[in-house]
Amino acid sequence: MSTKEKRTEISQLGEFGLIERLKSLIATVRPDTVAGIGDDAAVIDAGNHYLLWTADMLVEGIHFDLSFTPLQHLGHKAVTANVSDIAAMNGVPSHVVVSLGLSNRFSVEAVEALYEGMRAACEQYGVDLVGGDTCASRSGLILSLSAIGKAGKDDVVKRSGAKPKDIVCVTGDLGGAYIGLQVLLREKEVYMANPDMQPVLEKYAYAVGRQLRPVARTDIVHELREAGVRPTAMIDVSDGLASDLFHICARSKTGVRLFEDKIPIDAQVYNTAAMEFKLDPATCALNGGEDYELLFTINPADFEKIKNHPDIHFIGYITDNPEERILVTKQNNLVPLQAQGWNHFRPASESGR
């Protein structure tokens, strides 16, 4: 490359900016390509239904630290991350393929442990593992999975369908995976300083479990269908509530108002964040990521049908002004909603995880 050629650092664009730029280079031309880059999964016309297709990669040193991540859990999480993207399209997952980059640090037994986790996840979600690829890696473990699933043509839900006045809903609770990671990192530091100290994790079992072994909400897809509710827009919370909500708003060309006191946070996670890490629990929930809950919007007319669901929380509403992204705080102040999300392309000097 000549020194005169333009060079743009990936960190200047960030992950989302880079994907937008790549998207502009690729035009889809086939009539059966219903939706390409830009949602949780691609949508392909398969005749009498839609095929959903997604890929998600986990890289050692970026997404996980093997010093505190059991391989079985990691295998399970890799399948979960992919299945979650199919659920986020309101679809049902069916098959995964697995590509592995393995360093020579790994034994056969270690790879088997990884596969035991993937097998358990496949059983849990009712999907079959049907292939993949294996090669050597000089930069640690790489787990690259792809999943397919299907949805009825009237059932598929994109990020782009939210309408003003729609109610913003989220399942489960948020921030747990982030606090679990903070606990694990803290215990690792303690252990490194003094290997005789055994990590005390029982007290943090819920948060640590959320980080190491998250669950994709395929159950919610079925329950919404049974209740006769089709979300207007949906995404899974992988980057963080704020960032993922912004994806819905951007694609739907809408704004949003979110109520801080409605954001679901587990009590143990709340206390650990506030007391031990001096972190604002709401900030953890808004920006933590990796909870793999479903974030969706519904037509207000559907509220009655799910208002008593124990695991669906109503946290805000969609507005017509795309500029408006507001958090209504517990003190009833209106503040701009910020999305930090996870940016793996930060300059090396400030790299996060």
Tell me which residues touch ligand ADP (CB under 6 A).
Answer: 19, 22, 37-40, 56, 85, 238
How far, in Å, CA of 22 to CA of 166, rounded? 31
- Nearer to ligand ADP by C-beta: 238 or 272? 238
Half-sphere exposure of 95 (CA within 13 A, CB side): 8
Shortest Å distance, C-beta 221 to ligand ADP: 15
CB-neighbour burial class of residue 131 (10 A; exposed 0-12, middle 13-18, buried 19+): exposed
- CA-CA distances (angstroms) from residue 61 to 51, 66, 195, 334? 33, 8, 21, 38
Task: Among 39, 187, 236, 260, indicate the residue that binds Mg ion (CB under 5 A).
Answer: 236
Shortest Å distance, C-beta 235 to Mg ion: 6
Here the tokens at position 15 are: 């992950």
How far, in Å, CA of 288 to CA of 180, rounded? 10
**How many Cβ atoms from other residues are within 10 Å of residue 8's Cβ?**
10
Shortest Å distance, C-beta 138 to ligand ADP: 21
- Nearer to ligand ADP by C-beta: 22 or 205? 22
- Nearer to Mg ion by C-beta: 175 or 281? 175
- Nearer to ligand ADP by C-beta: 297 or 319? 297
The CA-CA-CA angle for residues 320, 170, 317, to 5°, reads 20
Q: Which does residue 39 touch among Mg ion, ligand ADP, none (CB within 5 to 8 A, set by kind)?
A: ligand ADP
- Nearer to ligand ADP by C-beta: 251 or 257? 251
Among 58, 53, 245, 55, which residue's Cα sits nearest to residue 167?
A: 245
Q: Which does residue 264 touch among ligand ADP, Mg ion, none (CB within 5 to 8 A, set by kind)?
A: none
- Nearer to ligand ADP by C-beta: 56 or 266? 56
- Nearer to Mg ion by C-beta: 237 or 273? 237
Q: Which does residue 291 touch among ligand ADP, Mg ion, none (CB within 5 to 8 A, set by kind)?
A: none
Here the tokens at position 72 are: 């079985």
Shortest Å distance, C-beta 37 to ligand ADP: 4
Task: Among 35, 39, 73, 85, indicate the residue that binds Mg ion (CB under 5 A).
Answer: 85
- Tokens 């037994």 correspond to what residue? 109
Q: What does 142-191 look like in DSSP terms, one character per residue?
A: EEEEEEEEEE-TTT---GGG--TTPEEEEES-SSHHHHHHHHHHHHHHHH
Q: Which does residue 334 touch among ligand ADP, Mg ion, none (CB within 5 to 8 A, set by kind)?
A: none
Diameter of the chain by CA atoms?
Answer: 63
Shortest Å distance, C-beta 81 to ligand ADP: 7
Q: Does 40 bind Mg ion (CB under 5 A)?
A: yes
Return the range that interacts with Mg ion (CB under 5 A); candidates 233-241, 249-257, 277-285, 321-329: 233-241
Binding residues for Mg ion (CB under 5 A): 40, 85, 236, 238
